[in-house]
Structure 1
């Protein structure tokens, strides 16, 4: 089969929902909400662009379940129905060309900048490593009642998403956010039913999953983004991740997206130059782990990170290692790439590592992530994304935007 034939195949999920092709737009933080975290027309425009580009499944950037706990300025928060009319237009835009759209739901836990919240929460009062403590405060350990309240928030947000017309939700259980913190023995050092053993540490995630299922219909999809590992000493391991996936598979989860890392070790944001040759040759960073999952559980898989060519994407599907090709950066600069591949084009992504010439900056994955977020902003305004970075000027642009947003957020918080 040609890459176009392989990638054009539909995928039926456990609940019967059908993804029309094997291209999935992985979550990228758009930060296109208002300063008070409301929905905007820019998100409608952005997701219509991806839908028209031919993607089979779009997963939104992290929508927060609590407006008092957001990961970045201008995250969208969905904790009630106040933005339901505009949320409906977002869902309609994402499905405009026959694809599906899921809302990613998230709570940052302690992974929230001090400028946004000086009193973060987490399973345990474990601070970030020393070099990050100027940006992130030491969290307060959550009480049992607070944990139950957050579980309820996830369910409320999912119910609103379904009412708005989204096809499903993805629970963000990766990259060091709250659910990831509960799963990690480094971040979760509780001695009650929410911590200690691996079984207790996955209790919060399973409770969130079950609450969402109870709050939504049987045809509504529920997936998860999960780390293969934290890549951090004393953190969440591959063996523990496999156990979590097996438990979720037994619960009937519709899709597992595999990723890895957190802010302290951002494997999810590092460029291809930082991975070993055996992985680079297969393009996707987490295919080897996906193959381990295949031996343990029967569950649809989505692997994100590293795909750059139509041939590499098709080979990953044909090998059976993954069911969906997860794409982030390539779709941030070439939103029509699915249609181009499906039309028969031999595709090679223009994505390359962004270099400023300043080593300490170039080693900080978050700067590069922010540059790609700027391209989402351009598309949200109906403009074409830039396909090539401008080196040091990219850094200046990103820092300018982040500073402005931070100041506006602090001013609003002081009102």
Structure 2
């Protein structure tokens, strides 16, 4: 049998063929206008990524409920697109599918992780507020059973809209603490109806969204899921639970399962420790693969239990690490933050001119302050974490405007830019002329 490399094509269960094993994983771009309509900046970003070599591009959060944005600047597919929005969406999908690239929309509902400035009382499985200092998130309201059913239908409708406007698939977001993920998390889901209690009940919203989406879209349209390997919280979703959910998803015909982990309270997906230092964390060993890949141990376990294609995202930076992951049975390698500075960085791996992604990210980690050692004070540590994330958001603003990224950008300056733009987008959404971040 021939060795699988990053250049090897992959045929998904639906019949779609990815031209190679590299995927741009989802990163929240924030480049829609205040109405949730894609901007020319978002099109520009995906033109670059489609020229960058990855076989699959997965978008940042495409929101199915306008009152539950992951952040201001999300694309919104809450209703049928207006003619103007449809034109903008088609420009986006045309750019992102160039060069035989697959483009999947990550459809999502932020749930209780909706910022207070967007919605002070977001819907959630239960009225359990995020345990983060700073007051950035509001008081969630428990959803009624009919509201849960409506959300399931909204996922299905969003997938149909995505198919109609030129996406080649969708990824249903059930990780990182957003709505479907929080249903899976016993700490956030304290219901006693058919959507709470047992794992089967807690998984029901996700499983129904997948089941009904797969039945509604065309056979060759990709349906993927992003799933936490664990919530990395005491009492949260365990890896054993996640394996069982994965088995159910395989039975429903999922084309690609992306493995991740954590949430805002335990941001392991960013390689960061959560607020509770005694909570479980991914294990690390001395091997190249284990040093790079945050969730490789779970991926190994999963491969023993399921046969559907899996995608591993989080930390992989060298060709040796990626090849080791493929040899462990991972099917697709997800790359995210390295593609923030250089949209086409994957090309050098694919054509053999580089054996690693750019080293600028390591240089950031060595800088003092926001990127350096974290404060022992919970509030300051939270601010540090968000400032580091906002640094990437600011790079998207620059790239969307046709300017080069700025690796030496101050995280504090980035935080000011992003929070200022978020405020302007929300103010415009509540009344006034549309505002664009680019």
| Distance in 1 of aligned mates of 2:320 and 2:148 | 45
Query: Take 1:2 and 1:30, find their aligned partners in 2: how far apart are those partners?
Result: 38
CA distance in 1, matches of 2:211, 2:2: 40
What do the CA deviations read for 1:118-161 (whole angstroms, capped 9, x no partner)? 111101111122525x1111211001111111111111111110
Q: 1:278 aligns with which of 274, 285, 299?
A: 285
Instruction: Please say if residues 11 and 18 of structure 1, whose CA atoms lie closer than 8 Å, have aligned partners that are also in contact.
Output: yes
1:117 pairs with 2:126: no
Per-residue CA deviation, residues 340-365 of structure 1 (Å, 9 max, x unaligned), is 11221233332224445254456643
1:376 aligns with 2:378: no
* 1:215 matches 2:216: yes
Distance 1:400 1:339 in 2: 31
The Cα offsets for residues 155-192 of structure 1, whole Å up to 9 and x where unpaired, read as 11111100011100000000000000111111111100
Distance across 2 between alignment mates of 1:203 and 1:229: 18
Aligned alpha-carbon RMSD (Å): 2.2
Q: CA, structure 1 residues 412+11, in 2 after alignment: closer, same or farther (shift >3 Å)?
A: closer
1:337 lines up with 2:345 in the alignment: yes
2:70 alignment partner in structure 1: 71
| TM-score between the two structures when normalised by the length of structure 2 | 0.88
- Partner of 1:205, secondary structure, is helix
Quote how far apart the aligned CAs of 1:307 are: 0.9
Match of 2:423 among 398, 406, 409: 406
Contact 1:24–1:57 under 8 Å retained in 2: yes
More moved, 248-257 vs 336-345 = 336-345
Corresponding residue SS for 2:258: strand
Please show how residues 305-384 of structure 1 align to structure 2 within 5 Å. Answer: 305-320=314-329, 322-348=330-356, 349-350=358-359, 351-352=361-362, 353-354=364-365, 355-357=367-369, 359-360=374-375, 364-384=384-404
Q: Residue 59 of structure 1 aligns with which residue?
A: 58
How many Å apart are 1:71 and its aligned residue? 1.5
Structure 1 stretches of 5 or more lacking a match? none
Give the gaps of 5 or more residues in structure 2.
274-280, 433-438
Question: 1:410 Cα deviation (Å)?
Answer: 3.7
The answer on whether the counterparts of 1:116 and 1:410 sit within 8 Å (CA) in structure 2 is no
Query: In structure 2, how many angstroms separate the alpha carbons of the residues matched to 1:141 and 1:29?
Result: 26
Deviation at 1:103, TM superposition (A): 0.3
Residue 53 of structure 2 is aligned to residue 22 of structure 1: no
Q: Relative to structure 2, which stretch is displaced further, 164-173 or 33-42?
A: 33-42
**Equivalent residue for 2:31?**
32
Q: Look up the SS of the partner of 2:60 in the other structure.
A: coil
Cα separation, 1, equivalents of 2:428 and 2:90: 31
Deviations 1:184-242 (A, max 9, x none): 11111110001110110000101111221232111110001110000011111101100
d(CA) in 1 for partners of 2:20, 2:30: 27
Superposed displacement of residue 277, structure 1: 4.7
Q: Residues 117 and 297 from structure 1, CA distance in 2 versus in 1: closer, same or farther, beyond 3 angstroms?
A: same
1:86 matched to 2:100? The reply is: no
- Decide whether the 8 Å contact of 1:356 with 1:362 is kept in 2: no
Distance in 2 of aligned mates of 1:314 and 1:365: 30
Shift of 1:317: 1.2
TM-score by length of 1: 0.93
- Asked if 1 retains the 8 angstrom alpha-carbon contact of 2:393 and 2:418, the reply is no
Contact 2:64–2:108 (8 Å) recurs in 1: yes
Helix, strand or coil: the match of 1:325? Answer: strand
SS at match of 1:306: coil
**Alpha-carbon distance between aligned partners in 2 of 1:189 and 1:47, rounded to the nearest angstrom:** 40
- Quote how far apart the aligned CAs of 1:378 are: 2.1
| Equivalent residue pairs, number | 408
SS in structure 2 at match of 1:97: helix
- Which deviates the most, 306-315 or 260-269? 306-315
Distance 2:91 2:204 in 1: 35
Task: Please say if residues 228 and 260 of structure 1, whose CA atoms lie closer than 8 Å, have aligned partners that are also in contact.
Answer: yes
Shifted more, 262-271 versus 184-193: the winner is 262-271
| Counterpart contact for 1:121–1:142, Cα < 8 Å | yes
1:364-385 Cα offsets, whole Å, 9 max, x none, are 4332222112222222222322
Q: Measure, in 2, the Cα distance between the counterparts of 1:130 and 1:81.
A: 35
SS in 1 for 2:105: strand
